[in-house]
Amino acid sequence: MAQLRRAFRGSPRKSRFQMKTWLKLTAIALLFYVHIAGLLFDVPRLNILNETIRALYFHVPMWFGMVLLFLISFIYSIRYLGKPSPETDRKVVAYANVGLVLGILGILTGMLWANYTWGSPWHGDPKQNGAAIALLVYLAYFVLRGSLDNEEQRARLSAVYNIFAFAAMIPLIFIIPRMTSSMHPGSGGNPGFNMYDLDSSMRLIFYPAVIGWFLIGLWIASIRIRIKTIEEKILELEDGKSA
């Protein structure tokens, strides 16, 4: 372990795996504010939605965070194919992993919201079905990685698949639901919240929620990248000793 600590102290890339402290504090402050304000502040009394509209502060920002993290993973996948490196592969996996977690949380909070708004957690709505398929596509990404032993082959094939997964997610979530009949706001001709929400104070909570969940996702991803880097350093040291 002493050798490992010296290796990291002497590494000029150490800061790449760490998120700035002020960003961490910003993420904590924003989500603290969102949870307090989202549960206690007044909300507009819209027909059917009523108090359930508070889910907007959690369900939708989680999905925004998911899409942004998948986008970062997508960009690193392209970068890996252009210039392969273990460091880039670790970033691809970490951002996809955390994005998937936010996606699962988003779909669970959406089901909770749907249960009170539509009468059941799953209505087979095109938006729900598209979101579920998109998450299954990304779950298959991790199945693919786990099925290959060769590290270089695993990284290259999964990078290609990750690009396909992101390209498939966009129409599944944003395009197809708008072309079909959907009860979900912003889909199938239904207006989004910004079109019929007369109380603009909701935006004072919604936008910080989007930023907060995204920063939390970045923070978790940076931790996962650093842990994976340390694990690989340990393996390198152990292999060096055994040799």
Q: What is the CATH number of the domain that holds 142?
A: 1.20.120
**Distance from CA of residue 130 to its chain's centroid?**
16
Whether 12 is covered by a domain: the verdict is no
| Counted domains in the chain | 1
Per-residue DSSP letters for the chain? -HHHHHHHHT-TTGGGGS--HHHHHHHHHHHHHHHHHHHHS-----TTTGGGGGGGGTHHHHHHHHHHHHHHHHHHHHHHHHS--HHHHHHHHHHHHHHHHHHHHHHHHHHHHHHHHTSSS----HHHHHHHHHHHHHHHHHHHHHT---HHHHHHHHHHHHHHHHHHHHIIIIIHHHHS---STTSTT---HHHH---GGGHHHHHHHHHHHHHHHHHHHHHHHHHHHHHHHHHHHHHHHH-
Residue 243's pLDDT band, with cuts at 50, 70 and 90, is low
Rounded average pLDDT over 188-197: 51
Q: Please say if the pLDDT value at position 145 is more than 60.
A: yes
**Least confident residue range of 61-70, 179-188, 193-202:** 193-202
What tokens does 128 get?
């729900």
Most confident option among 47-56, 117-126, 212-221? 212-221
Whether 67 is covered by a domain: the verdict is yes
Q: Please say if the pLDDT value at position 194 is more than 80.
A: no
Whether 188 is covered by a domain: the verdict is yes
How far is it, in rounded angstroms, from Cα 47 to Cα 192?
Answer: 14
Rounded average pLDDT over 7-34: 75
Whether 13 is covered by a domain: the verdict is no
Rounded average pLDDT over 53-63: 90
- Could you list the residue range(s) of the whole structural domain that residue 121 is in? 23-227
pTM of the shown model: 0.86
Whether 15 is covered by a domain: the verdict is no
Whether 6 is covered by a domain: the verdict is no
Whether 168 is covered by a domain: the verdict is yes
Mean pLDDT computed over every residue of the chain? 85
Q: Please say if the pLDDT value at position 13 is more than 60.
A: no
Whether 124 is covered by a domain: the verdict is yes
